[in-house]
Amino acid sequence: MTLITDITLRRILDSRGNATVEAEVTTESGGFGRGAAPSGASTGEHEAIELPAEEAIEKAEAEAVPALVGEVDAIDQRAVDDTLHEVDGTDDFSGIGANSAVAISMAAAKAGADELGLPLFQHLGGTFRGDQFPTPLGNVVGGGEHAEEATNIQEFLSAPVGAPSVTEAVFANAQVHARIGELLEERGVPANKGDEGAWAPPIGDDEAFEIVDQATTKVGDELGFEISFGLDMAAAEMYEDGEYVYEGEDNRSTAEQIDYVAEMVDEYDMAYVEDPLDENDFEAFAELTDRVGDRTLICGDDLYVTNVERLQEGIDKGSSNSILIKPNQIGTLSDAVDAIELGADNGIVSAVSHRSGETEDTTIAHLAVGAAAPYIKTGTVAGERTAKLNELIRIEEQV
């Protein structure tokens, strides 16, 4: 037994400058772990509830800390996460806040790993994990809820599917990002950056497709392996009164949206499309997956919110062949792993993901390796993004 002996919660800054929750967990024999909650901007309607940081801390200090300290073994991640659910008493973590829950869950996992003297990915995944690395999906151009006056589509993602190692894939995405900067400059397009460090140029989606295609092809040719690309359309954010609203273009009906995405998949041979349709439209997702799911990944983020019940509905309806995994959408690492495993048992490919508001926390890099997720989406260049990417490079060196 290695009981948790202390939990400290505090407010720290996230990458947008907002307050978020950081947790520190200490165990009986000196194990220590620290975890911090990320925060989304284009959040799904069905996500677990993030409370204002101060309130989440107060509630967790009153309810969760006394139930964990001196009571639960830090190595037993299921027991930690079950306790968080019990004391919260709701099905969406609105009692203590999903931000407090996920920070404690991640800090306890790290304390457990420290206690065992194991890297976190191995504590999470077990002895036989650590030999499969995710392909990093790198946000290189974007707009939507992540940047003003930029593309309608939230994220254009470099996808180095042919990279021989995760290290080479990480560097490839950085090179694509740099190449896009040059292309924008050549075109005289002034480009700021969005919340995740992707270029946020004032151009239409069509031009962004062209530029990203050009950059991924060029860098892929230079490096000698395939770099495809993909999208996060975050379509729930565009969906108003039964139509997908595109600034500067005609709106699209659901049928037109499906046609548009299917055409773009084939025109650009895209590897991945996240949230192409509204977060409640399991049926439209299924129609699109039926059309193009044999040649690309159709991924549900806001559709599933890392929730096994929603994922089961998607499996039953054939809505997608991929799921995005965000631990803070559901509140604990155990719930996130359950979603990855339910997906894997049903041929659904997982992509473990950051949020647009992030911290230096690197847990998701370990989660992706420990759970053998085929993809990770965690940005390309900004410091809170490279924290995870650099951790993947270190993990690859260790195994």
Ligand X SMILES: C=C(OP(=O)(O)O)C(=O)O
Which of ligand X, Mg ion, none is residue 381 near (CB under 5 to 8 Å by kind)? none
DSSP structural state of residue 49: P
The interface partner of residue 26, options being Mg ion, ligand X, none and the CB cut-off 5 to 8 Å by kind, is none
> For residues 31 and 343, which CB has a smaller minimum distance to Mg ion in the complex?
343
274 appears as a binding residue in the annotation: yes
Cβ atoms of 359 and 390 closer than 8 Å:
no
Question: Are the beta carbons of 68 and 4 closer than 8 angstroms?
Answer: yes
Based on the residue annotation, tell me whether 196 is a catalytic residue of this protein: yes
Is 146 assigned to a binding site? yes
Single residue of 14, 232, 281, 384 touching ligand X by CB under 6 A:
232
Report the residue number, 24 or 361, with the smaller CB distance to ligand X. Answer: 361
- Site for ligand X, residues 43 to 72, rule: CB under 6 A: 43
Nearest to 207 by CA among 256, 265, 263, 150: 150
- Only one of the segments 52-60, 183-191, 247-255, 351-359 lies at the binding site for ligand X (rule: CB under 6 A); that segment is 351-359
DSSP 90: S
Which of 95, 90, 111, 83 has its CA nearest to residue 8? 111
10 Å CB burial of residue 338 (0-12, 13-18, 19+) is middle
**Single-letter code of the amino acid located at 290:** D
Q: Show the CA angle centred on residue 389, arms to residues 198 and 119, nearest 5°.
A: 155
232 binds Mg ion (CB under 5 A): yes
| Residue 50 annotated in ligand binding | no
Question: How many binding residues for ligand X (CB under 6 A)?
Answer: 11
Q: Is 320 assigned a ligand-binding role in the annotation?
A: no
Q: How far apart are CA 108 and CA 389, in angstroms?
A: 22
String of DSSP letters for 156-215: EEEE-TT-SSHHHHHHHHHHHHHHHHHHHHHTT---EE-TTS-EE-S--HHHHHHHHHHH
Residue of 59, 110, 193, 326 marked catalytic: 326
Residue nearest Mg ion (C-beta atom): 301
Toward Mg ion, which CB reaches closer, 196 or 301?
301
In degrees and rounded to multiples of 5, residue 16 shows phi and psi of -90, 0
To Mg ion, the closest distance from the beta carbon of 137 in angstroms equals 11
| By CB under 6 A, residue 278 contacts ligand X | no
Q: Select the binding partner of residue 20 from ligand X, Mg ion, none (C-beta < 5 to 8 A, by kind).
A: none
Q: Is residue 380 near ligand X by the rule CB under 6 A? A: no
For Mg ion, give the closer residue by CB, 20 or 322: 322
Binding site per annotation, positions: 146, 154-155, 232, 274, 301, 326, 353-356, 377
Q: Which residues are annotated as a binding site for Mg(2+)?
A: 232, 274, 301
